[in-house]
Amino acid sequence: MQNNQKQHVKPGGFHNRLFKLKLLAAIWSGKILIALTRVLGRGGTTLPGRAALRIAPRLLSSLSAPLPQGSLIVTGTNGKTTTSALITAILKNAGYRCINNQSGSNMSWGVASALLAAVSWTGHLPGNYAVMEVDEGAFPGVVSSIKPRGVVITNVFRDQLDRYGEVDHVLDAIKKGLEMQPEGCFEVINADDPSLAGIALNKAKKRWTYGLELDLPAGTFENTGRDMKTCPICTKKLNYDKIYFAHLGHYHCLSCGYRRQDPDVKLTGSTANPDGSSSVRISLPGENIAVNFHLMGTYNLYNLLAAVTCARALDISTTAMRGALEQSTPSFGRMEIFKLENKTIVMALIKNPVGANEVLRTILAQKNRINILVAINDKIADGTDVSWLWDVDFEQLVSIEDKLSGVMVSGLRAREMAVRFKYAGLDTARIGIEENTAAAIDRALEQTSEGSRLFILPTYTAMLEMRRTLNKMGLGKPYWEE
């Protein structure tokens, strides 16, 4: 009997040592690959994580488990990068050390690469929180691996049809991820998105909700449509008292009575300031705060609310919230601003109709002359199906054609984008085509007059290419140096 017990113990100890060796091998391999890719100016957001996960499949759980405050996951179609950056800023302002995949690489290997960049060579992760944005499709797997303390869900729209299909598939992935949450995990949900508010609440979890309480002018964008036209409970027509954009707003169903519930955290006022910021008023349970917020667009008001709601769920003080939010700047490629002498470059990632239309809404509000450069790639990270471009209201640009000093298209699908602009009604003689993204930036800047703004609207991989070009020009730094 005693011999049998000894034989049982030895393999366990051996397997434990083998696992530790594999984990260290994965860490060293990943960190070496990160160093090499950064020397090449590539950032190391994909390859290091892929390689390390191949060596140690349980890498995510092994690295994240010891974090004293746990991990937070942000998922949803739009707003993940900005929301996770705002949450990180708030936590840092409250005195916590945070690890964040700020580049926006949000598959499991992107999360792994971010953890590998922060972990020591001996496997120690020096931080209190990990704040990770996670792709909707990868959400269930990452939740299962890192067992987060909290989950934030921003919204659900059509996105990358070649990967996700329609909205129902995205919702199924999110529901599956929510079911995998550990006990004690809290949820932060956008109350203005009827598809999310309709997700059944697990009574074992604490759910926080947020939404807008504003009177905004009606939108003029026609093509996008609402991805959520029917009630998620009874499938009858969904009615709206207010629509902020797409299907986000104040909704109710006349058939079954399903309606938007009063959210826990509300944005009750927003006033534009001369410097481009907004004075916003936020109502929290038992407390109101006022913040000067510098990020443009209605969609960033939702990102702001998501971050504040998550911070409230973590019992972070409003003082820490306000200090971080008033110092906030656009995150990596999301309305990011660069200055070149007397010209301003604004880089705004586009990847689906709703997000692109909100960027166009910001462009239409510009007072001065502007130049536009749209760069479309169709690599895996972008989505290989670019048919979504026909659901973007580029027709609205015709109304400001007299203010456009130039229109340029670039990227692997530059010619398809030129055709889209043609059918939008823009003068084809004014549409420049330059497939090379670096050359396109040079040409677009030549066309941009002094004191004007160049808006660059790229898909994800085109954004990475153009960001590297701007960094070489001395405009900004690689994300890992910021």
Burial of 123 from C-beta contacts in 10 A (0-12 / 13-18 / 19+): middle
Domain match, 224 and 348 both: no
Residue 204's pLDDT is what? Answer: 60
CATH (domain of 460): 3.90.190.20
Domain match, 212 and 84 both: yes
Residue 22's pLDDT is what? Answer: 92
- Strands 404-410, 370-375: pairing is parallel
The last residue of one of the domains, among 326, 354, 381, is 326
- Integer Cα distance of 370 and 404 in angstroms: 5
Cα–chain center distance at 71 = 17
Determine, yes or no, domain membership for 292.
yes
Burial of 17 from C-beta contacts in 10 A (0-12 / 13-18 / 19+): exposed
Domain match, 346 and 413 both: yes
Q: What are phi and psi of 391, to 5 degrees?
A: -95, 0
Determine, yes or no, domain membership for 405.
yes
Of the candidates 123, 108, 322, 308, the residue with the CA atom closest to the CA atom of residue 211: 308
- Integer Cα distance of 324 and 93 in angstroms: 6
Instruction: Give the global pTM.
Output: 0.83
Quick one: which H or E segment has residue 176? Answer: helix 167-179
Q: 370-399 burial, b if ≥16 CB within 10 A, otherwise e?
A: bbbbbbbbbeebbbeebebbeebbbbbbee
Determine, yes or no, domain membership for 101.
no
Q: Which domain holds residue 310?
A: 71-89+130-136+145-326
Domain match, 164 and 267 both: yes
Determine, yes or no, domain membership for 321.
yes
Domain match, 417 and 437 both: yes
Domain match, 321 and 340 both: no
H helices present in 327-448, as ranges: 353-364, 414-424, 437-447
Domain match, 180 and 310 both: yes
Residue 220's pLDDT is what? Answer: 46
CATH (domain of 85): 3.40.1190.10
**Structure letter (DSSP) for residue 118:** H
Q: Give the residues across from 345 on adjacent strands.
A: 338, 454
Q: Measured between alpha carbons, how far is residue 295 from residues 67, 178, 361 in Å?
A: 31, 30, 14
Residue 12's pLDDT is what? Answer: 60
**Structure letter (DSSP) for residue 333:** T
Domain match, 344 and 315 both: no
Of the candidates 92, 95, 170, 179, the residue with the CA atom closest to the CA atom of residue 134: 170
Domain match, 257 and 288 both: yes
70-79 pLDDT tens trace:
999 999 988 9
User: Contacts by 468-472 with C-beta closer than 8 Å and gap 24+?
Assistant: 468/41, 469/437, 469/438, 469/441, 470/338, 470/345, 470/347, 470/441, 471/41
What three-state secondary structure class fits 351?
Answer: coil
163-214 pLDDT tens trace:
444 677 888 899 999 989 888 899 999 999 998 877 866 666 799 999 999 8
- Strands 265-272, 278-284: pairing is antiparallel
Tally the domains of the chain: 2
Determine, yes or no, domain membership for 19.
no
What does the pLDDT profile of the chain (482 residues) look like in tens digits? 344 444 444 446 766 888 889 999 999 999 999 999 888 776 667 889 999 999 999 999 999 999 999 999 999 988 999 999 999 999 999 999 999 998 778 899 999 999 999 999 999 999 999 999 999 989 999 999 999 999 999 999 875 444 444 677 888 899 999 989 888 899 999 999 998 877 866 666 799 999 999 886 654 444 444 556 788 888 898 899 988 888 899 999 999 999 999 999 999 999 888 777 889 999 999 899 999 998 888 889 999 999 999 999 999 999 999 999 999 887 776 788 898 888 999 999 998 888 898 889 889 888 888 999 999 999 988 888 899 999 899 999 999 988 888 899 999 999 999 999 999 999 999 899 999 999 999 999 999 988 889 999 999 899 999 998 998 898 876 655 55
Domain match, 339 and 287 both: no
Domain match, 300 and 402 both: no
The last residue of one of the domains, among 278, 298, 326, is 326
- Integer Cα distance of 442 and 403 in angstroms: 20
The last residue of one of the domains, among 310, 326, 342, is 326
Domain match, 299 and 385 both: no
Determine, yes or no, domain membership for 44.
no
